[in-house]
Structure 1
């Protein structure tokens, strides 16, 4: 539990995420008459156990294109994507173009291609629509693309954190499932993003996506916060201003946000209390891969079921956090979010020169998203040296707050 507690505390330092590092923020794809729900696995009665790498909260798989192995992020919050270099190599046909809005609120237009064939261990996928992206995150994560939820919509996916194993099958009888710990899973257009319903206190329910590209526990959308209104399910801890999320298209624009404490969150009869979350500009709330810290997950797209069970019935997620959050902007470590207790003392966008006497000059986007955020502000107090926009340097002492 000590390891889980430390990771949970540091997650709020991560820049790329509405979530930590997400490319899954492309999970919001808005375009008329565009669908990624085409193609799929060639054949029936399949069962594959596929080892995965789990690094800094992200799951990596190694599909083969034209007999060559590539590194991909497994991301149920996104449609399948390939990088520009792989697009040039496999020469896939461009079939459409779509406007997208990522979870950080950034917008662009990207081409859609049809991937004729690729393999994932013994499985052969044919006719898969995919976005072509040149995100800077691809270089940082050293990936060639993203395997998104659209390719799994006719399968059952079991994620085993203990074995670091992904099982893909169309036969539920080959899996060990706890039928007393299941709930309904829904998905649809344009990319089969999986949604489940969780229970909150005061008899409230919340529809959330399961986003395996997001290394957080829960991220609550502004829209859902409005829906919950004045119900007795959360306590509003702090209000703030800034940018805490990075997505496919870059850092979000600074805006207001809230830090909340949900009193109770019930996922398939596993109860999490004192859940600290921050609001986002995303179109929906979502659970991320922090859920795997507590047990295996099965996404049964075929029968519309979500399985999740834990060793204990309840977990207390109470934690103390900082009154500001660093992010990477233009390859420098800067103040991303300022919470109300520091208002007027620190401003969004000011450069962070030192943390606890250690220079931040060499911190850039790539080393930050690849674990660099874990090595800073690890104690209960910290000293931060900051340069404002006029070049003045100031030093502030900070302590974690509930």
Structure 2
């Protein structure tokens, strides 16, 4: 699902996909961010923009604790619609989106408009927009919300997780949302004075666009970059850039060849650059040794949901502020990439090489993206579906690995040792 390798993410680490997905299809970004395409009809764009920004709050004077779980490092909670409970991603960087199967179940929907969009891979497609009377989150009722149906919800990399859609900033703007990953909940409130983090936390100014998607300023070297804050992106940081980006040239880097990226309605295979920044500034907060991916196929710069690993965060879109309170004990953020030199994926019923680092021993020995893996340390892996793969696949614990690959219809053997790639 994700890509960012901010937690020792490549092949060679034993972990379930649900908790730390990066060792599988580490090129598979879970980007739900969408951007308006300037070439679409002006009338439809304005109409859809207004619709997708709409939502009202029915309740007054409230505070509700909403349980959350993290699936592929994405915050997920329950939403009640027309008396049924569904599971949605908390996604600051996208629209409110319902899966087509959910939309088909709902009664009394009107399809007032459409919009042409670019997804995170800069692929253009048309989506339909709708209007819903109300939904509930933690007993709090939101009315007259606009939402869209987008093809990514029908993809196996989404539906295997049992998700029904995403809650976007049109709904978030109506309340305050304090996300605490260690306690496993979101506090949903109408007043900041109810929340201690407003006084004790570090304040970050936010900027919002016409549909209330937030962005903030990062300092990288002498550059100030305005990046989207997108909790529907399960990495830490990604930046738009060509293989040679002026302000990134001086930092250590490696190439990731053949990286698979899922975003919106498209899947793209492309090369990305992994860069280690000595430090990154966020309005006075300094992050050191930050691993980021850089690619010219990305449609926007993003800071993602892995920020929740380090901080309790209050999101106030209407007040245009983010409040961060560092956890006393927190998991280590990855500051280097340790790997056997490649990542894995499941395609057309086969376990295959997803991407390969260059330079790496794997690359030097002829491992290539897309190659079928026959055996790992002598064991053959077979799965009936992608869902079975992500639920059940685990790698051995050893620091050495022997791969049996298929190359030109013949077995090809490679012995590798985990190494520091970056």
Task: Please state which band the TM-score falls in when normalised by the shorter chain.
Answer: 0.7 to 0.9
- Pairing 1:348–2:364 present: no
Provide the rounded CA distance (Å) in 2 between the counterparts of 1:210 and 1:331: 35
Provide the rounded CA distance (Å) in 1 between the counterparts of 2:392 and 2:307: 19
- Spell out, residue by residue over 1:218-271, the C-alpha distance to the aligned partner (whole angstroms, 9 max, x if none): 2222269736254x5x32x2124313322332421x223211111112335443
- Pairing 1:360–2:381 present: yes
In the TM superposition, what are the counterparts of 1:175-190 in structure 2 within 5 Å? 175-177=195-197, 178=199, 181-189=202-210
| Alignment check: 8 A CA contact 2:7 2:333 kept | no
Taking structure 2 as the reference length, what is the TM-score of the superposition?
0.82
- Spell out, residue by residue over 1:262-316, the C-alpha distance to the aligned partner (whole angstroms, 9 max, x if none): 1112335443222222224222222222222212111111211111232479977
| Alignment check: 8 A CA contact 1:332 1:351 kept | yes
Gaps of 5+ in 1: none
Question: What is the match of residue 72 of structure 2?
Answer: 56
2:127 to 65, 86, 110: 110
- Pairing 1:70–2:86 present: yes
| Alignment check: 8 A CA contact 1:16 1:369 kept | no
**Kindly tell me: are residues 271 and 241 of structure 1, through their superposed partners in 2, closer, same or farther at Cα, counting changes over 3 Å?**
same
Q: Give the deviation of 1:347 after TM superposition.
A: 2.3
- Pairing 1:383–2:398 present: no
Provide the rounded CA distance (Å) in 2 between the counterparts of 1:121 and 1:224: 45
Gaps of 5+ in 2: 1-5, 14-19
Provide the rounded CA distance (Å) in 2 between the counterparts of 1:184 and 1:366: 40
Question: What is the match of residue 273 of structure 2?
Answer: 258
Provide the rounded CA distance (Å) in 2 between the counterparts of 1:119 and 1:52: 15
Question: What is the match of residue 130 of structure 1?
Answer: 147
Provide the rounded CA distance (Å) in 2 between the counterparts of 1:208 and 1:227: 18
Question: What is the match of residue 397 of structure 1?
Answer: 415
Question: What is the match of residue 336 of structure 1?
Answer: 354
Provide the rounded CA distance (Å) in 2 between the counterparts of 1:380 and 1:285: 34
RMSD after superposition: 2.9
| Alignment check: 8 A CA contact 1:97 1:109 kept | yes
**Kindly tell me: are residues 180 and 62 of structure 1, through their superposed partners in 2, closer, same or farther at Cα, counting changes over 3 Å?**
closer
What SS does the corresponding residue of 2:160 show, helix, strand or coil?
A: helix
**Kindly tell me: are residues 53 and 354 of structure 1, through their superposed partners in 2, closer, same or farther at Cα, counting changes over 3 Å?**
same
Q: Give the deviation of 1:173 after TM superposition.
A: 0.6
Provide the rounded CA distance (Å) in 1 between the counterparts of 2:75 and 2:64: 17
Provide the rounded CA distance (Å) in 1 between the counterparts of 2:170 and 2:388: 30
Question: What is the match of residue 243 of structure 1?
Answer: 259
- Pairing 1:226–2:245 present: yes
| Alignment check: 8 A CA contact 1:159 1:297 kept | yes
